[in-house]
Structure 1
Amino acid sequence: MADESWRLPNSVQQLAASMQEPPSQYLLREQELLDGNLAGAEMLEPVPTIDLGLLSASYDLEEAAKLRSALQTWGFFQVSNHGMEASMMDSVMTASREFFHLSLEEKKKCSNLIDGKYFQVEGYGNDQVRTQDQRLDWSDRLHLRVEPEGGRNLVHWPTHPKSFRMIFTNTH
């Protein structure tokens, strides 16, 4: 059986602690740099902002057109007037930071790998690696399904910090 250990990248936290330079699969090639599709590159126009208050209260046609355009051209957008309290967003950010400051062993308890080798979207880890020459993001992430409530798989949810589950399950 062929060695497919490349399919299971180490966490970025682990790599950063043990190396001077990122491994080659995290580096962009010269041609990729020249293409100019880089985060942080100067943008000709700002990321679109969609006012959810206008969409949900009155279904403003102009705002709906902005949403359609943002999805078709950018693929994402910034949201304003969403109705979430600043204190709730602060709690979410604090709990998230606390989670990412935990030890690697503690975070791996929420791994997105089944039996340490089969990728699933939910949980803590990296993107799925499909090919040996795939460019990888220099990030570790925690992906959790929050809604619908019946779709939550709490097996992948952290138990630390203690407030994490309460904050993320009571956000609506």
Structure 2
Amino acid sequence: MESTGGEEARPALLPPPVQELARVQGATDGVPSRYVAREAGHDDDDPKATVAAPIPVIDLGRLCRPGGGCADDEAAKLRLALQSWGLFLVANHGIEASLMAAVMDASSEFFRQPLHEKQKHSNMIDGKRFQFEGYGNDVEVVSEDQILDWSDRLYLKVEPQTEKNLALWPTCLR
């Protein structure tokens, strides 16, 4: 968090990267409880209370098609996906398969690197302040009991070129 009104900046709480947790814990220990989302009103110890549903798929071809009810129906699906999940899969986006494969290969190369190499591109400034761009967790962690996403991510700005921070870009993605 940044300093406000004379207060000193408080370092963000840094959970270990998920890849490291998975490596250390192994498959038999399961996912730590702070990474398990629960439905409201359910006992935290009830494993059946875990939210499980298919990720919504949005068809950009239908969404962008003028006229008819297809675009309206797809827009309603998009709105619901954003309200309930906060994310969605995209179908019929028009990106060439070869480009998608190249991006997946480069991403895999980055995430296979040792932790100390990935952390060179951290989303933490001086280990204290969270920024969206870079390698790390999805959100700033503000409390020890905050539910976290079971993911590590690399978020990089591509456009506009003037906002592209190449210092955070791994060599395999430049």
Give the TM-score range, shorter chain: 0.7 to 0.9
Match for residue 137 of structure 1 among 146, 149, 165: 149
> Where does the alignment leave 5 or more consecutive residues of structure 1 unmatched?
166-172
Cα distance change of structure 1 residues 68 and 105 upon mapping to structure 2, 3 Å threshold: same
Task: After superposition, give the CA deviation of every residue in 1:27-61 in whole Å (9 maximum; x if it has no partner).
Answer: 456635454523xx4x5xx8343233761xx5345
Identity among equivalent pairs (%): 44
Length-normalised TM-score, structure 2 = 0.72
In structure 2, the partner of 1:146 is 158
RMSD: 2.8
SS across alignment from 1:31: coil
Alpha carbons 1:54, 1:60 under 8 Å: kept: no
Match for residue 97 of structure 1 among 85, 91, 108: 108
- Residue 18 of structure 2 is aligned to residue 12 of structure 1: yes
In structure 2, the partner of 1:74 is 81
Match for residue 114 of structure 1 among 103, 125, 132: 125
Task: After superposition, give the CA deviation of every residue in 1:119-141 in whole Å (9 maximum; x if it has no partner).
Answer: 11111011321222111122211
SS across alignment from 1:124: strand
**Alpha-carbon distance between aligned partners in 2 of 1:149 and 1:66, rounded to the nearest angstrom:** 35
**Alpha-carbon distance between aligned partners in 1 of 2:148 and 2:132, rounded to the nearest angstrom:** 15
In structure 2, the partner of 1:52 is 61
**Alpha-carbon distance between aligned partners in 2 of 1:19 and 1:36, rounded to the nearest angstrom:** 20
> Where does the alignment leave 5 or more consecutive residues of structure 2 unmatched?
1-9
**Alpha-carbon distance between aligned partners in 2 of 1:158 and 1:60, rounded to the nearest angstrom:** 43
Deviation for aligned residue 1:117 = 1.8
Residue type matched to 2:134 in 1? G
SS across alignment from 1:14: helix
